[in-house]
A and B are shown apart, each in its own frame.
Chain A
């Protein structure tokens, strides 16, 4: 865990992005909440509706709220045109702003409601206009309470901003999500420490402003404001490097193989003189659309995923036909160039512990059907909704005693501990070899293929330099080499590697 101190200094740009995102969200929330609170203090109906809506937003998990803005913004493109960003800063800002509204709004409304009626009568009695009353009496008397609300909102927002990673906005969530997927706990801790530290710092600074307001110590409030402003300016300064030519943005979904391949692709582009940027830990559903609209330039996707999720097909024409159909479809519908297949599949397969398979006499899915009513099957959270499962179930008449969902990382542990007898494994997973699992045969060919493909966004689809740099990867990666690299990242012992190291090993194995 000593690595944390090596990791933290490298998080500067993530911290800057995190600060800019959080500060913008809180700022926007203040701009919306304060006038709304004033309006609410003049109308009980507005007060009820505003507070009810803000509370309702709070009941939506932050992760879901962030994810919901992707389809929402996508549909708004009909109004605002194709230039409307659907990933990254904008949706993260909007979701976090909604999230920050409630504490600010509630405190401001409560503060207004609790103002001494005698003081308000005096304000009218000395002849203040509504605006003078607000500016000279209501605002200064409510300020400490409003500030307390802003403090709460800030701590929430800084915490929730780590989730912006999943919609392609860099933040301190990047190391957390990358660390969780690759079981690199030092990385997770470093991200958590940095975001907790930031939240504490913000909380304390805002507390100084709040106390300054409550005790009418102007220098305290102004000093606090000045330090907050300096911090935000510093973050803006650090994040300003985005000028000039946009770097090539490489996406990875939330599992080790994706992190490794992103680094492999990135290293080759850097060697060819390109500037690259990584968007790690994206939600799977987000990646495909992001490449199609060029907010991300390169991803590695799988034939089976595209086939069912985007072509909406549930037939199985065979491996080659499927690939060619997808290639033509992507070019025609999205302008996305499928550069080629890497050479391995990350297909769904059913795996069992060798001893258990032997004991039950199971070598194929057909054998499994006979004993399934006595067994528990484990799958990743989406598996039991996928057409593969439905197809396999129908083809072999599988009927299990029970079904359980596990995060991919923990599925193998469940198999080892006996919580599941058979799991939906991935064929490129390093743990199949490491745990000496038996992959069950599929004599009826019910499981579709999942060839890994390099996808290029319309923006770089015609870039000869990029194509030349990445072409050697096509057909170069065997499933054994990929399993080995995945295992190197997933393992917990001294031989554990970072995705970058594993990518170097993979490149060497592939003779690149």
Chain B
């Protein structure tokens, strides 16, 4: 019979995991609404308007539509892999959140128990996130192959080539941050950036901004957003790897994509923008709970990604490869050298 302390610990972990899963499953609702609103206003129109005030109920209407749509499995598709692929792309996106910290310990009022705002404080946090985050690619490549369609297969191949190429420079950017903060642990990373905004890694002159730009560009390519959304280029590939998917299976891919976007926003905040540290070390800023600073920065980045989507055109495939291999990787190698010299 295990004692109550262990049982309580297990219970806390289960509760935390279910809370995070619930939030992540719910995320596409506000995010799709926000994305369409941002699109609308950038293109000088209203965006969703009819369903509910300012169209806030539109995502629910979309959800109902996706749920009751016919679930089509193409003839001569590999049925097993076709059904497995959406899960393969969704599960890694969720798994990443095991290692992501949202704040330090804090005491629950009235009970007096301390609770941590992360599920697991891993020593190899950043490596874990990069490793697991990279697994989402199997959903795309296997989904594309299993559909038994030219467009899907080409989309899957493209996305795998793109993600493999940009994973290199993204990992280099992570190495850069590890060199700046002397730790692979995400909590340590945030702690080392405490103080005013000048202590944040993005302002670690001269290499901080360079790492930030490298990370941003390769992360955009990793999560397949414009200007790098080649895998689902409508003009040449119909809809890329998810051409043949409909209904709920399609929405799993979409869910994975949105969760990946949030992951990247969170990672950027943790790695470069001081996590939950307020921008200035003055007492009035410390009155605001740290989690609000954290979420505020994350929302800012999510908005930034949406803003980019409706501002930039899409790159051609050869340009995409040239940027990855001929610009980002040499640049990050040089920056690693400079960072190393600075650290001596």
Are these two chains actual partners, yes or no?
no
Contact residues of A with B, CB < 8 Å?
none
